[in-house]
Amino acid sequence: MHPARGKLRFTPTPKKKESKTVQMRDLNAPRRLNEDFLKYVKSDDCSDEHLLGLNDLSPFLDINFPVVSGFSIDAMHTMYAGCLRRRLIGIVSLTTEGKLNSTSLAAVNTRLKLFEKCKPSEFERHVRSLSNCIEKYKMHELRDILMYNLFPVFSGILQGNQLENIMLLQYGMLLLGGFDPKPVPTADILEATRVFKLYVQQIIDFGYPVRPTIHAIIHLPEDANNFECGVECQSAFLYENFYRFFRRSLRSGSKPLEQYRNQLVRRSKYLLQTASDGTILETGQQFKMEVKKRELERSDRKIVLNFSIRNAKSDNPHKVMKFPEFSLSNMFPNNVCMLKNGKIVVCTDIVEYPKGSKIFSIVGFRFLTVENAFATPYPSYKFKTHVVSKLDHAVDEWNVNSIMCKMYAMPLKLSDYGSLPDITVSLSSDKWFVTPVRHTL
């Protein structure tokens, strides 16, 4: 026999290691209390082994810090990076967690590609392809999907019960106050608790795994209650926004904490001007903007920071009016706003009269039909979200003080998402999904 043709040997295929997922399916487990923290010591009769012994105690106990309730859950990592991202990963790639077929995923990607053109100037980045980039999404992309794009992206693609399920996450976060520093009403906290528990229960009913971050969202309302502010005021988003200060404070890799301390001492000692979030104001423009924001807090009027005209000699010059919290222009996607009377307006021109007076009016058209975008799992009008159509042909004019907020507008069509219609000449059949840019309310 040829040496290369020896007797065949059967090599058994190694058994695929069964993946194990930590499941947290109990929605009504006994709460852990601050007083119970010392019970979590390694012993034969204790299932929790947080502490190796009484010599391994947390230094926070020395200052009577509430070791259980004193730490926030952090909505950025728990809700957006944890619960929402995992749900989207299931939609993209896991047949056991509601994976869409290739045609439906292509439709989602097509909508997201079109919606790039709808991104307001207040958003630094657009949401990239779901199927290709879900693992690479930045936190702001995940938040934008949940708070703005969720319904127009998935309506008509996800089954009704699946769409309502994921919309519960949006409803709960809207109830919990976002970045509003004021206390969240007790009724909203209780409703958010019910909503998040319903979401987790439906995940269990679907047969999907309930991972720790999915379970943890049911405790987010507790943080809104404990810290008496919107849950995102305690999230890592604020640290991410402040991160540039820390990064610029470092001159070398040696003793970073001491460098941060010296910067803070310098700021305090020399009374450097700072914004409300503590950031040092390093330019005159930053200082002027902060002054305008303080004026806005004491006034019901809209304060215009700047008004500029680009391509002034053209037939349709680009006009931009900047407020402390947002900018409005006469060109899409920054020309849609809601007035205080509830009308949705498309701005086609901005007029300053008399010239140099800082008295501005917006000129444009209003939508004649303003409807509820959806009724379940919550009525969209409750948070000023609508579907609008039938643009009025009669031009009108409004003072800038009648503006309530800026709107994020996306076309709402269940079939053809190939091109973006011109919102200023919308046909009667064109429908637009409009929702407030939240921080402008």
pLDDT of residue 230: 92
Residue range 270-322, pLDDT digits in tens: 555 555 555 555 566 666 666 666 665 566 667 787 888 888 778 789 999 99
Residue 292 burial by CB count (10 A; 0-12/13-18/19+): exposed, middle or buried?
Answer: middle
Average pLDDT over residues 392-397: 91
Name the strands in the sheet holding 306-310, side by side, starting at the edge strand that comes first in the sequence.
306-310, 318-322, 327-329
pLDDT of residue 272: 53
Residue 195 burial by CB count (10 A; 0-12/13-18/19+): exposed, middle or buried?
Answer: buried
Residue 4 has pLDDT above 50, yes or no: no
Residue range 63-90, pLDDT digits in tens: 888 888 888 888 999 999 999 999 999 9
pLDDT of residue 116: 94
- CB count in 10 Å sphere of residue 396: 12
User: Taking the chain, what is the end-to-end CA distance rounded to the nearest angstrom?
Assistant: 85
pLDDT band at 99 (very low <50, low <70, confident <90, very high): very high
Residue 194 has pLDDT above 80, yes or no: yes
pLDDT of residue 3: 44
Alpha-carbon span 277 to 8, nearest angstrom: 72
Residue 117 has pLDDT above 90, yes or no: yes
Question: Hunting for tokens 């409300």 — which residue is that?
Answer: 276
Out of 9-13, 141-145, 359-363, pick the least confident: 9-13
Residue with more model confidence, 101 or 21 = 101
pLDDT of residue 289: 64
pLDDT of residue 204: 93
Average pLDDT over residues 27-44: 69
Tokens representing 200 are 């987790």
Residue range 232-264, pLDDT digits in tens: 888 877 676 666 667 777 778 788 888 877 777
pLDDT of residue 362: 94
Average pLDDT over residues 122-139: 92
Average pLDDT over residues 44-67: 68
Mean pLDDT, rounded, of the chain: 83
Residue with more model confidence, 51 or 324 = 324
**CA distances from residue 395 to 17, 398, 421 in whole angstroms, order as listed:** 67, 10, 20
pLDDT band at 27 (very low <50, low <70, confident <90, very high): confident
Residue 436 has pLDDT above 80, yes or no: yes
Residue 182 has pLDDT above 50, yes or no: yes
Q: What's the full length of the chain, in residues?
A: 441
Residue 6 has pLDDT above 50, yes or no: no
